[in-house]
Amino acid sequence: MRLSPAILNLLPPDVARFDYDRDEQKVGIVHFGLGAFHRAHQAWYTDLAMSGGERDWAIAGASLRSDAVARRLDPQGGLYTLTERGAAGEATRVVGALREAIVADRSPERLAIALTAPSTRIVSFTVTEKGYARRPDGSLDLELAGRSFYPHLAECLRQRMRRNLPGLTLLSCDNLPRNGEVLARLLAEWLAAHAPDTVRWFDGECACPNSMVDRIVPAATEADLAALEGRLGVRDEGAVFTEPFSQWIIENRFAGPRPGWDRHGARLVGDVAPYETAKLRMLNGAHSAMAYLGLERGHGFVDQAIADEELRALVERLMLEEAATSFVPAEGQDLRRYAADLIARFANPALEHRLAQIAADGSEKIPQRWLETLRAHDARGERCPALLEALASWMRYVRGDRGAVDDPMAAHLAELWRTAGRSGIAAALFGPGGLFADSWRAGEATLAELTRKLA
C-alpha cells in the first residue's frame, strides 16, 4: 500500500501529521531543486507553519531535468514522511506542504503557471553549488546557466513585471557564502544578457536575502525505505531521513510576506555572515576533510570517520584552531560549543551518512569550505596543517586512479594531473594562475609542503 492522502488515517498513531486542509491551500512558494534536503528542511518548516494556522504557503517544487522525484511523489499526491533519527530512536511525520512536483524541462508551462501565480511570493533554491553555473572567477557561465533555472525564472519575472504582479523574494538555501547576494548578482547578469528590460524591475521589486541552512540529510537507501515500510505498514517512495537537529538563519529582508518560519525554530537576523561562515568552514569544512581522508583510511560513513582517533584530532584542530579563528564571530556566538555539538552530530550512528556523498563535487565545495580559511590565515602568516592534510587528500582523490570521481571538473582535474604530474599539480591548482588561484594562492613553501604530502 502506497502513502497517499486517501490512506492517511491508516498510519500508526505515533506518526505525526499536518492538520490543515491541503486542497484549500494556494501555492505561495516555488522551489527549485526538489531533493531530499529541501524536503527535510524548508518544506518541513513550511509544513509546521501551516499546521500552526498559517495559510496559502503550499510549495510547487521543481526539478530541472530529472523526473526521479516526481515519479516517487506524484502517486503519493506530494505527500512524504520525514524521519528524525537520534539517540532516542526514530520519530516520523507526514509532511503535506508539497503541492506538486514539476519537471521543468518537460512541463515548462506548469512551472510558469506556478511562478506567475499572484499567490506566489517566494522562490527558493537548493540547486547545489554547481546549479548556479559560476565560472571559477565567480562570474556567470552563460552557457551552463542556460541549462539551469535562469531561463525559467527570467521569463517569469518578465511576465510578473508586465502583469504588474508583486515582486518575489528569491531565497537561496545552498551552501555558498552570501548565497543571496551571489544569486542576485548572477541573475542580474543573466537578465542583462537575455531580458534587459527586466533588470530595473528585478532590482526594485525583488529581494534576495542571505540564509544559512543546516540539517544533515543522508541519501535514503532501499534498506531505509523497507524498514520504514515495515514500521508504517505503508510504502513511502519519497521518504527522507535526517537528524533531529535543524537550523535556519535568514537575513530579514523579504520583498513581501513570508511564512512564520521563525515561530518554528528559524531565526531572522540582520547579518547572516558569521553563522554562515562558521557553518561552511567548520561543519562543511570538517565534512569534506572526513570524506577524503576517511575514504583513504578505509571508512565508509561519517560516524566511522569521527570515531577514528587520529581523524577526530585532525577534525577538532581544523574546526577550532583553523576555521574558528579565521573570522570574527557574532556577539554571543560560541564556536567552542558549536564544534562540540558538531562532533556529537557527526557521531550519530543512526544517520549512516556516506562519505562518498560528501566527497562529490569537491571542486565546487572546497573554495568556501577550506580555501577561504587558508587565505585568512595566510594574510596573518599562520599555517593550517589540518587543512593542508585534507587538501592533499582531495588532490589524491581527484587524480581519479582510485575510482570514478563525481565532480563537474573531474575530467579537467585528471588532465591537469596528467600534464603537471605529482611535482606540478599543487602549483597548477593553487600557484599563480592556478585553477583555484582566485580563491587562494599558496606561497612557494606551502606548494612544496603540499607536494611532499602527495607522496
Residue numbers of the site for ligand CS2 (CB under 6 A)? 175, 214-216, 284, 287, 357-358, 365
Question: Which CB atom, from 77 or from 274, has the smaller least distance to ligand CS2?
Answer: 274
Question: Which CB atom, from 229 or from 316, has the smaller least distance to ligand CS2?
Answer: 316
**Cβ of residue 116: shortest distance to ligand CS2, in angstroms?**
31
By CB neighbour count within 10 A (0-12 exposed, 13-18 middle, 19+ buried), where does 147 fall? middle
Task: Give the separation between CA 204 and CA 207, rounded to whole angstroms.
Answer: 8
Question: Which CB atom, from 115 or from 315, has the smaller least distance to ligand CS2?
Answer: 315
**Cβ of residue 340: shortest distance to ligand CS2, in angstroms?**
17
**Cβ of residue 164: shortest distance to ligand CS2, in angstroms?**
38
**Cβ of residue 1: shortest distance to ligand CS2, in angstroms?**
32
Task: Give the separation between CA 360 and CA 264, rounded to whole angstroms.
Answer: 32
Phi/psi-derived region of residue 99, left when phi > 0, alpha when psi is between -120 and 50, beta in every other case: alpha
Cell 505527500 appears where? 79
What is the residue-wise DSSP string for 413-435?
HHHHHHHHHHHHHHHHHHSTT-T
**Cβ of residue 193: shortest distance to ligand CS2, in angstroms?**
30
Nearest to 369 by CA among 266, 283, 255, 427: 283
**Cβ of residue 423: shortest distance to ligand CS2, in angstroms?**
30
Q: Running DSSP on this structure, what letter comes out for residue 192? A: H
Task: Give the separation between CA 209 and CA 172, rounded to whole angstroms.
Answer: 8
Question: Which CB atom, from 40 or from 426, has the smaller least distance to ligand CS2?
Answer: 40
CA dist 274 → 210, 297, 376 (Å): 12, 33, 14
Question: Which CB atom, from 11 or from 216, has the smaller least distance to ligand CS2?
Answer: 216
Question: Which CB atom, from 152 or from 299, has the smaller least distance to ligand CS2?
Answer: 299
**Cβ of residue 211: shortest distance to ligand CS2, in angstroms?**
12
**Cβ of residue 216: shortest distance to ligand CS2, in angstroms?**
4
Phi then psi for residue 402, to 5 deg, are -105, 5
Q: Specify the DSSP element, H or E, that contains 30.
A: strand 27-32
Question: Which CB atom, from 85 or from 441, has the smaller least distance to ligand CS2?
Answer: 85
Question: Which CB atom, from 214 or from 237, has the smaller least distance to ligand CS2?
Answer: 214
Question: Which CB atom, from 215 or from 396, has the smaller least distance to ligand CS2?
Answer: 215
Strand-strand pairing, 211-214 and 247-251: antiparallel
CA dist 226 → 5, 79, 223, 236, 241 (Å): 20, 17, 5, 9, 13
Question: Which CB atom, from 190 or from 436, has the smaller least distance to ligand CS2?
Answer: 436
Question: Which CB atom, from 199 or from 335, has the smaller least distance to ligand CS2?
Answer: 335
**Count of C-beta atoms within a 10 Å radius of residue 397:** 21
Nearest to ligand CS2 by Cβ — which residue?
A: 287
**Cβ of residue 285: shortest distance to ligand CS2, in angstroms?**
9
CA dist 63 → 52, 67, 186, 445 (Å): 28, 7, 20, 45
Kindly state the cell numbers that stand for 109.
Answer: 508551462
**Cβ of residue 214: shortest distance to ligand CS2, in angstroms?**
4
**Cβ of residue 249: shortest distance to ligand CS2, in angstroms?**
12
Handedness of CA 392, 294, 419, 144 (dihedral sign): negative
Task: Give the separation between CA 124 and CA 169, rounded to whole angstroms.
Answer: 8
